Structure 1
């Protein structure tokens, strides 16, 4: 049962928190099967689920009913670890778990619970809301026992705040920790889902998340052995490497007993490549996320609405009098969807033809039934039929979605934005680019959309001139309010926005140097559907991060790669550690850890590199919108 807010209405929190609210449950599980993995990633999911189960079951009270109150941004990630039914209290006969959110001031449960678990990240704003809720709970007759579970670990500042707000006295000791380091999203993709990691590193100066990063790699090494070849690019990457080295040294005796099965590890600091998260992705998955938002392997599709089933006891005549209620379809998206698996990484220009070939393939299978004669043939056909029917259903959904995406991409405004981005990247017509940005501000496009273009322009050109900065700042404040000034300040501190004190020489900017040295911009792509050149993911721009990773795999190119960073702030934070003489079973397996976030287009680009297998780890799967949004001040 969902808890009620103070006014009696069900609680909700947008897409992620509305898991059991108005939206219809997805037919297929959102939890990926994780089949055919390079390494067994399901092991990390099992360890996390077992740890959470053990923690919950260790609490025994006279009243076995348990309630869970979640940080809204943890609901989605947890759904990739355990099913919704996981939180139903054992031995109570309940069919629905008691679940609430750290969102509203007061919270009431529909059943009498004996214990309440608050599951939250150690954030001050959440602690303050949680304190208000706990005060309300303990004011009731016979209040339940209250436990706080910090994810991935508690911090001293949160303990001090709980003490200061007189809440610690109401909490069962000790404060609990759930080390949810890795969340498996796909066969080769793990995320820590730390949405503010980049902001914490670059604006707040808080690098505490790097401890969790190093600890997560230690867990990986405890199963697959010491990773012998480690490279790092960027400040936070070097810091994570140093913490890992210290941890590895302390546990080296035990780790040396395991034969390494992962050849390489590359730590990559998001700060080194701030361009790639700001460029519009042009793969099917990237555009899907751009228009409909993929959150924790799940997308809500309004135009695939399904009718709501008739309530029990509702008369047929009453049903006919009222219009049919419909709810949006919630579509799980991972490699378990065979159709999505085949088209997700393709440039959108090639998706139509691929969907057509899948249609023909399914038609051929259906046609086979007309030629079946032998009993074994019929049995084999009907064994395969459910899988084909599911694929047919998925195909129908993706054809509908692709049709809607095509309509969006054909709109004049979308095409003009893509052209402006490409002009910025190639250094053409800066005056026209500024004029387009001004037009976006005047018609009050979303502030994240506007700031994304300004930041892209600033990074590529190594800063805005003083007059450009002052003018755009004035226009932004006029259109969006004075709170935007604080957001601009955060963007400056993070290196996303820069004022140039001297005349801008675009051709000698750090980006121009990298663009030339790594062939980042392909001016004339003859075939944007050809995945041999990773620039296909942006129809002409190859993600700088992925080019650097690609080059770093070749030891002969590593030194020349480092020379490209001369004159930049990153040059002193590039290095490597090699452990010679170790027997490695899979030299071609490389773990890439993005510190500060990784985009879907970057994942597609890495998967396009042949003759090498990647496992992508990241602090957060990001897109241009949530990347910029994490930097904004919300008043």
Structure 2
């Protein structure tokens, strides 16, 4: 059954065009070979490719078989054409070369086409040359950049870095913080100077672009998300817009996007508010059913009731999903982890928090949960105290394997985990300046974005909040000194000769912000974004003093565990997955 897709044209910026263009380019790649063909996919792209093209469409364009990239030679495929669709990675090029050579040795008369995404690279072509298969393959590229996941969410689905920002017309106001953000601004500037580019101001659908490097706020993804969608990702892992629900020993696939109207209404709520909402909906349907039996209704009333009944399977599905989430977050280890998080954010009890982490390891709890807390202490306390740092590292290696010395080293190199060497953490000053901790959060009727983490407001969202309010980032000069990387606040315009330039608007009003027009703001998270941060931006857009709609773009949809997994060596990752299966 086809995956229900949201209405991509429903948001402030119509995103259906982006999906349609990606779909067309895929079809062009398939049609580059006539007749029947085999499509070999990079496993890292096979999931989200289903959001662009369903299996019937692939068959319509000659695809007889779908395979994942592997090193084994092909058997009898029943057709001559083989099309590879893979990320531009050296490992993928090497696997393809091995497969081509093995098939050639077996005497297979096959025609190979390789489409790299988002771009073909010289290094991959060099691999083919060194392996002696350049003459056997036709090389192309599939320029897939942003993938629409919902009407207001775009993702590059790249694990580690931003490659480019899609052309959405010239965006007048651009603000950013972080090294990668500055690199993207430079990229945008160069793109505007290319022949044929539209350099004029205000030519696109976006009024403002806010670029945020994930390094500016690594604290937020390490915290446990407490919205409905965020918790679904924390405990069940949302993959390509879906979760697998275990019901009576069988797996049920649940699609989570705005095409499900019940999920759309619930996804950004605090999880504490989800149960009462589902209960109220079920009672309302039950009451309407009784009223229908008790008295005659008009045709229009019956039609409305029938429409309500269509949501009943969705309500039942979300009751089951919420129950499974409740069981997992009700476990003692989950509650203990959240308690430690809250203590760390408050700045209290580092010794007690480190002891709690050691207890987690003695209980052989999941490594990523342990590392999240260790990194959270490090980032908020200016490092882990020396005594605890050495003890925790030793226990990680003892409990989870000495191969994780590579993991710990990678986290240290990235600045996520380090030994306390004196000096004061900047997090305390950030907490005060940005009001990151908010007391007395009402989960059912929130008034601040801090509800998404039960009292903690993400640094990233506080920066966006300041960016779109009157005065902009002018009041944040001292705050920016506490955060890594450069910051900028510019208007993309042209000089007297019509050449593209960027002019600083620091401490000046941003054009258009004081107008009555509701602005469209694209927030680009370079390095990943959590579902709770997306929920916070949606909530922010409903506030009376924020006259704008947000579109979220990112390199990857993440949570704290998936973020830290990217620092684990791939060989070690495979061993961890195998151990789980066993």
Verify same fold: TM over 0.5: yes
Which among 226, 246, 249 is matched to residue 282 of structure 1?
A: 226
- How far apart, CA to CA, are the structure 2 residues paired with 1:85 and 1:327? 26
**1:477-488 correspondence runs (5 A):** 477-488=397-408
**Runs of 4 or more off by more than 4 Å in structure 1?**
371-374, 578-587
Match of 2:558 in 1: 622
- How far apart, CA to CA, are the structure 1 residues paired with 2:39 and 2:473? 50
Which among 125, 143, 157 is matched to residue 193 of structure 1?
A: 157
Q: Does 1:518 align with 2:438?
A: no
Does structure 2 conserve the Cα–Cα contact (< 8 Å) formed by 1:263 and 1:586? no
Which among 129, 144, 168 is matched to residue 95 of structure 2?
A: 129
Which among 139, 142, 146 is matched to residue 112 of structure 2?
A: 146
- How far apart, CA to CA, are the structure 1 residues paired with 2:254 and 2:343? 35
- How far apart, CA to CA, are the structure 1 residues paired with 2:100 and 2:185? 40
Deviation of the 1:32 alpha carbon: 2.6
Match of 1:170 in 2: 136
**1:538-557 correspondence runs (5 A):** 538-557=453-472
**1:439-450 correspondence runs (5 A):** 439-450=359-370
**Structure 1 residues 114 and 539 mapped into 2: Cα distance closer, same or farther (>3 Å)?**
same
**Structure 1 residues 411 and 46 mapped into 2: Cα distance closer, same or farther (>3 Å)?**
same
Which among 541, 549, 555 is matched to residue 613 of structure 1?
A: 549
Q: Does 1:462 align with 2:376?
A: no
Match of 1:17 in 2: none
Match of 1:36 in 2: 10
Deviation of the 1:526 alpha carbon: 4.4
Deviation of the 1:547 alpha carbon: 0.7
Match of 2:302 in 1: 381
**Structure 1 residues 142 and 105 mapped into 2: Cα distance closer, same or farther (>3 Å)?**
closer
**Structure 1 residues 258 and 410 mapped into 2: Cα distance closer, same or farther (>3 Å)?**
closer
**Structure 1 residues 416 and 543 mapped into 2: Cα distance closer, same or farther (>3 Å)?**
same
Match of 2:191 in 1: 247
Q: Secondary structure at the match of 2:417?
A: coil
- How far apart, CA to CA, are the structure 1 residues paired with 2:418 and 2:426? 13
Deviation of the 1:254 alpha carbon: 3.7
- How far apart, CA to CA, are the structure 2 residues paired with 1:549 and 1:252? 32
- How far apart, CA to CA, are the structure 2 residues paired with 1:253 and 1:281? 41
Q: Does 1:418 align with 2:338?
A: yes
- How far apart, CA to CA, are the structure 1 residues paired with 2:408 and 2:60? 47
Match of 1:120 in 2: 86
Deviation of the 1:58 alpha carbon: 2.6
Match of 2:569 in 1: 633
Q: Does 1:558 align with 2:473?
A: yes
Does structure 1 conserve the Cα–Cα contact (< 8 Å) formed by 2:193 and 2:199? no
The number of residue pairs the alignment matches comes to 549
TM-score, length basis structure 2: 0.89
**Alpha-carbon displacement from aligned partner over 1:502-526 (angstroms, at most 9, x marks no partner):** 2x53xxx22111111101112x324
Which among 322, 331, 351 is matched to residue 254 of structure 2?
A: 331
Does structure 1 conserve the Cα–Cα contact (< 8 Å) formed by 2:173 and 2:511? no
Does structure 1 conserve the Cα–Cα contact (< 8 Å) formed by 2:9 and 2:15? no
Does structure 1 conserve the Cα–Cα contact (< 8 Å) formed by 2:158 and 2:556? yes
**Structure 1 residues 369 and 289 mapped into 2: Cα distance closer, same or farther (>3 Å)?**
same
Does structure 2 conserve the Cα–Cα contact (< 8 Å) formed by 1:280 and 1:418? yes
Match of 1:591 in 2: 522
Q: Secondary structure at the match of 2:171?
A: coil
Which among 442, 445, 454 is matched to residue 530 of structure 1?
A: 445
**Alpha-carbon displacement from aligned partner over 1:113-168 (angstroms, at most 9, x marks no partner):** 12111111011222222222222333343422101111101122111122112232
Q: Secondary structure at the match of 1:265?
A: strand
**1:290-369 correspondence runs (5 A):** 290-303=234-247, 327-367=250-290, 369=292
Does structure 2 conserve the Cα–Cα contact (< 8 Å) formed by 1:438 and 1:472? yes
Deviation of the 1:378 alpha carbon: 3.6
- How far apart, CA to CA, are the structure 1 residues paired with 2:565 and 2:364? 16
Q: Secondary structure at the match of 1:31?
A: coil
Match of 1:49 in 2: 23
Match of 1:23 in 2: none
- How far apart, CA to CA, are the structure 1 residues paired with 2:283 and 2:257? 23
Does structure 2 conserve the Cα–Cα contact (< 8 Å) formed by 1:264 and 1:587? no
Does structure 1 conserve the Cα–Cα contact (< 8 Å) formed by 2:467 and 2:473? yes
Deviation of the 1:100 alpha carbon: 0.5
Does structure 1 conserve the Cα–Cα contact (< 8 Å) formed by 2:36 and 2:64? no
Does structure 2 conserve the Cα–Cα contact (< 8 Å) formed by 1:281 and 1:601? yes
Q: Secondary structure at the match of 1:608?
A: helix
TM-score, length basis structure 1: 0.82
- How far apart, CA to CA, are the structure 2 residues paired with 1:390 and 1:255? 49
Deviation of the 1:467 alpha carbon: 2.6
- How far apart, CA to CA, are the structure 2 residues paired with 1:515 and 1:574? 22
Does structure 2 conserve the Cα–Cα contact (< 8 Å) formed by 1:596 and 1:620? yes
**Structure 1 residues 415 and 397 mapped into 2: Cα distance closer, same or farther (>3 Å)?**
same
Which structure 1 segments of 5+ residues have no match? 1-26, 198-208, 306-325
Pairwise CA RMSD of aligned residues? 2.4
Does structure 1 conserve the Cα–Cα contact (< 8 Å) formed by 2:172 and 2:207? yes
Deviation of the 1:588 alpha carbon: 1.7
**Structure 1 residues 384 and 154 mapped into 2: Cα distance closer, same or farther (>3 Å)?**
farther
**Structure 1 residues 159 and 558 mapped into 2: Cα distance closer, same or farther (>3 Å)?**
same
Q: Secondary structure at the match of 2:53?
A: coil
- How far apart, CA to CA, are the structure 2 residues paired with 1:360 and 1:573? 51
Deviation of the 1:183 alpha carbon: 0.6
Does structure 1 conserve the Cα–Cα contact (< 8 Å) formed by 2:3 and 2:51? no
Q: Secondary structure at the match of 2:20?
A: helix
**Structure 1 residues 87 and 455 mapped into 2: Cα distance closer, same or farther (>3 Å)?**
same
Which among 213, 231, 256 is matched to residue 200 of structure 2?
A: 256
Q: Does 1:78 align with 2:49?
A: yes
- How far apart, CA to CA, are the structure 2 residues paired with 1:282 and 1:410? 13
Deviation of the 1:252 alpha carbon: 7.2
- How far apart, CA to CA, are the structure 1 residues paired with 2:479 and 2:200? 36
- How far apart, CA to CA, are the structure 2 residues paired with 1:137 and 1:80? 31
Q: Secondary structure at the match of 1:262?
A: coil
Q: Does 1:228 align with 2:164?
A: no
- How far apart, CA to CA, are the structure 2 residues paired with 1:608 and 1:89? 42
Q: Secondary structure at the match of 1:346?
A: coil
Which structure 2 segments of 5+ residues have no match? 494-509, 572-582
Deviation of the 1:576 alpha carbon: 2.9
